[in-house]
Structure 1
């Protein structure tokens, strides 16, 4: 396969080959700390390929490291950017550049999966929620700390509160469980509230699409959610076809 897709987030790079029919191959993941990649980037990338389509919200140093590696392999590089209108999708932001390209690409991926309304929930460093109606109109969204970022923030301000551990219960009788339940519960409440508003204003229950490295923290409490781990890459594949 000569085209590869790269989703460069705040803490991880996800990449995969895509064939002419738009089918995404096995996804490779490599972490970074915001300044450089933790592992050997060269070991993840193929020796050579023709096209590289990149969607990035990462810091410039990591983005440059990736772009340099792609250029060394002779790839023609396309950098995705948020557009006010793409195909059937129209975003809500008056200034398109202020909508993160990962959220934009996830909306394209949601539309590619079907024309029903969708609530797109990404769980990474941040928790992002975006409502796409059945007509392809982005009706806006929300950004909040992810459950993991909430835990990290609490631990940073109160080191005696553990960073990891615990399980989700409705009313915890242990500090670890209370932390997990509180941070996860806050995210769940925001998702449920967003679903409620989308149903009441849109006239139909939207599909709930979950993606991002932290999405499994919410999955057990959202039984009707659809796991969509490659949603951003799926949107990037659609964008690449028109690039």
Structure 2
């Protein structure tokens, strides 16, 4: 049986085959804002397959569009949602439906016997930070604009400020570098503060995971972090196996 995993965000669609051993195959990521979902899916997929496992944090219209496209390629579609408990992970929100499924799946990917506490940071359209203790209990998190979204929002409000470009410097000497430094630095500072305070909640210093399209750009500032760019798909694979 051929199965595929799909992670639909506000900017990109990521997809990968689910291997027979339950692991994630080669990941393909496309900007659906530029290419459109029909073209993105056609570029990723074989003509027909059996099952699509879908995680989506995009708006309802985009999610429905993806499901319509997938229905022309596969026999069955399974949509992941955030439960209160799942395979060793307990969500800390009083109403689990308020927690994005991408955050749930990223945490699911890192919990397990002997795994210890983890701080899971997603850098996509938004910056999300979630703390899981050594017993697999989600202890809460944060949401903020990602560096990319900060730049885009500033450019929209103040058009003469460039929406991209620049190089990170601790004390920049021109505007593009100052913008890159400020936006990246704000994200790094929020992660570092969360990492600093986490032992008071989870008893010990957690492992730090970075995932999402913007993770690699922050890695140089966080040398102890583990880069896991496809963590949501890894969690979706575990969800699909169950």
- Shorter-chain TM-score category? over 0.9
Distance in 1 of aligned mates of 2:57 and 2:2: 24
Q: CA deviation at 1:166?
A: 1.3
Aligned to 1:122: 122
Cα displacement string for residues 90-147 of structure 1 (whole angstroms, at most 9, x for unaligned residues): 0110101100000011110121596121100000110000001110000000000000
| SS of corresponding position for 1:102 | helix
Question: What is the alpha-carbon distance in structure 1 between the residues aligned to residue 112 and residue 73 of structure 2?
Answer: 30
Of residues 65-74 and 23-32 in structure 1, the stretch that sits farther from structure 2 once superposed is 65-74
**Which residue matches 1:93?**
93
**Matches of 1:71 and 1:114, distance apart in 2:** 40
Is residue 202 of structure 2 the alignment partner of residue 202 of structure 1?
A: yes
C-alpha deviation, 1:22, in angstroms: 1.5
Encode CA deviations 1:209-238: one digit per residue, 9 max, x unaligned: 000011122111011110101110111011
Q: How many residues get paired?
A: 242
Say yes or no: does 1:48 pair with 2:48: yes
Contact 2:7 2:14 in 1 (8 A): yes
- Give me the CA root mean square deviation: 1.8
Provide, for residues 8-49 of structure 1, a one-character-per-residue CA deviation record: whole Å limited to 9, x for no partner: 111111010112211211111121229943844222121111
Q: Deviations over 1:177-229 (max 9, x none)?
A: 11111111111110000001112332211111000011122111011110101
Residue pair 2:13, 2:40 contacting (<8 A) in 1 also: no
Q: Which residue of 1 aligns with 2:22?
A: 22
Aligned to 1:68: 68
Q: Secondary structure at the match of 1:205?
A: coil
TM alignment of 1:1-243, pairs within 5 A: 2-33=2-33, 36-37=36-37, 39-111=39-111, 115-242=115-242
Q: Which residues of structure 2 form unaligned runs of 5+?
A: none
Whole-angstrom distance in 2 between the partners of 1:66 and 1:241: 22
The 10-residue stretch of structure 1 (7-16 or 107-116) with the greater mean CA deviation from structure 2? 107-116
TM-score, normalised by the number of residues in structure 2: 0.94
Name the SS for the 1:50 alignment partner.
strand
Query: Deviations 1:138-189 (Å, cap 9, x if unpaired)?
Result: 0000000000111111111111111112111111111111111111111111
Q: 1:27 to 1:35 in 2, by over 3 A?
A: closer
Identify which range, 82-91 or 170-179, moves more after superposition.
170-179
TM-score scaled to structure 1, two decimals? 0.94
Please give the secondary structure, in 2, of the residue aligned with 1:75: strand
Conserved? CA contact 2:3–2:17, under 8 Å: yes
